[in-house]
Structure formats: C-alpha cells, structure tokens
Amino acid sequence: MDKIAVLIPCYNEEKTIAKVVSDVKKFLPEAVTYVYDNNSTDRTVELATEAGAIIRHEYAQGKGNVIRRMFREIDAECYLMIDGDDTYPLDCAREMVAKVLEHQADMVVGDRLSSTYFTENKRPFHNFGNSLMRAGINGLFHSDIKDIMTGYRAFSYEFVKTFPVFSKGFEIETEMTIHAVNYNMQVENVVVEYRDRPQGSESKLNTYSDGFRVIRKMLQLYKNYKPMHFFGMLAFLLVVVSVILFVPVFLEYLNTGLVPRFPTLIACGFILLAGIQSFFSGMMLEVMAAKDRKDFEYRLNRVHGEHQERKGL
C-alpha cells in the first residue's frame, strides 16, 4: 500500500502533463504518481513516462470511468487527485495531504472559487455554472462546500473504497461531493490558486452538454438521497395546483348550486391523488434511504478495519 498516491486522469494533455508530473515530484517527492490515460491520441503517455510517472490505461471514455478504474486499482493511505492540465499549482498539495493523514479528513476540496478562478478562467458560462452548482448543492444538502466542480481533491482510503462510481463523465465531481455530504463524511476546504490553461491546451468540458449532465446528476442524487424532501415538494406543488383549480368550481357551486365544469373537477381529483401518492412514495423511499445510510456505516467500519490491518502488516 502506498503512503501517498497521486492520481492524474489524462486525455490528450501533451502540452502540460510533463510539468504536472515534475511538480508532483518536487512538492511530494515521497508520493507515487499514476497517470491514467484515457485513449489519448497525442504524446501524453510518452511524455508522462519520461517524467517518471507510472502509466495505466482506461479504455472506456469519460472521466468518471477513469476515476472508477483508479479507485479500484490503487491502494493508498492518502489519494491526491489532480488534473493533467496544469491549472492547479502543487504548492498546497502538502497541506491537502496533511488534512487526510493527520486530521482524518475523508475528502479535501481544492477550492478555486475563493481565489483566482473568476479572474483567470476566460469562459464566463463556466464561472456561472460553478457558482450555480455551489449554491444549488449547498442549499439542497445544507452543506458548505466551497468548490463543487474542482478536479483537485485529496481522499482517505475509507472514502475511496466506499464510494460507488456511477457517473461516466465530468459529473463525477458532483457525485463525489454529494456522496461525502450525504453520508456525513469529514470534508475540508483548502484555498488553491487557479491558472487558466496554457495556450494550445484545450478543455474537454463542453459548457452546455456537460453542464446539463451535471445539473441532472445533482437532481437525481437529491431524489435518491433526500426522497422525502424531493417528493414532499412535488406533493405540495400538486396539492396547490389542485386547490387553485378547485376553488373557482367550488365558488360557482356555492353561488348557483351547479357544477358545470365537471372535467376540471375530475382533473382536480386526479391531481390531488397524485400529490397524495407522491407524499407516501417519499415516505417509503425515505425509510429505504435511512437503511442505506445505516448499511453504509457498516461498510465504512469494515473498510476502516481492513485499512488498519493492512497498515499493521
């Protein structure tokens, strides 16, 4: 088992990968550096090898697929994940690693948004999307994560081995964040400087399609992890719509003794039934979510015990 494993997911990063690997060796010389290539068609693998990284491959395209492979294959006391695009400086890597090894943090978030991100990043819709996701997740999950979409993070062994990866693409950062918040894992924020990609290096993130996937993932996880809140709000909206449609029909009945708009009355009844059904669905799913959180604690304790045994060997 490695003491510190630096994990670098890569796809066509020949402009920057050698510098990133060299910076890792400079600031964390005791770490083992793994570059996971995701079907690069340039010299990424060649340059990473020359810089001294261990090369591994994931042939299913997508960052989520790469992270699944990394977390499955690598065993370490602390994992530091960083993108291969040289947008994150390594001078704060030691602080992030220390929060895992010495302060028992499960996930450390490299917070770009509290430093230079909004001035360095030249893509305004990315800035807006990051702010929107931060406000959305912190509001829905009552958390205080400073940067939801950052690719610069440190993890504990327990986090990595209990995190089920379902995302295939860039929505993986959202999934990791919500997973940590939902299961009450210890999350720390470290402010990091951000610099835009150097000339000739292009982002693989599509502002609109990937942004839509991220928002969809956030709502999906909110439904899965907070079903009573999700279906409770849906039930409330359906009941409100039913009442709004019913009031004119009821007032007309009081004035005339007649119900001329039977289709509206029938629609009110069905909408109200849908609201009641949504409420009870949320209650049942909330019980299942509570059981899942309980089962997770058992899994976490088992993984922690295995970790301690391996450290003692």
User: Does the pLDDT of residue 167 top 90, yes or no?
Assistant: no
Q: How far, in Å, CA of 2 to CA of 201, rounded?
A: 31
pLDDT at 242: 95
Sign of CA dihedral 191, 181, 150, 216: negative
pTM, full prediction:
0.84
pLDDT at 18: 94
Instruction: Please report, for the chain, the start and end positions of each structural domain, with discontinuous segments joined by +.
Output: 2-225, 227-312
Task: Write out pLDDT tens, residues 77-118.
Answer: 999 999 998 888 899 999 999 999 999 999 999 988 887 666
Task: Write out pLDDT tens, residues 205-261.
Answer: 666 676 788 888 888 889 999 999 999 999 999 999 999 999 999 988 888 888 888
Closest CA to 184 of 158, 217, 166, 210: 158
pLDDT at 194: 81
Please give the structure tokens belonging to residue 24.
């890792």
User: CA 120, 170, 60, 55: dihedral to nearest 10 degrees?
Assistant: 40
Neighbours of 96 (CB within 10 A): 26
CATH superfamily of 2-225: Spore Coat Polysaccharide Biosynthesis Protein SpsA; Chain A (3.90.550.10)
In this prediction, residues 143-156 reach a mean pLDDT of: 90
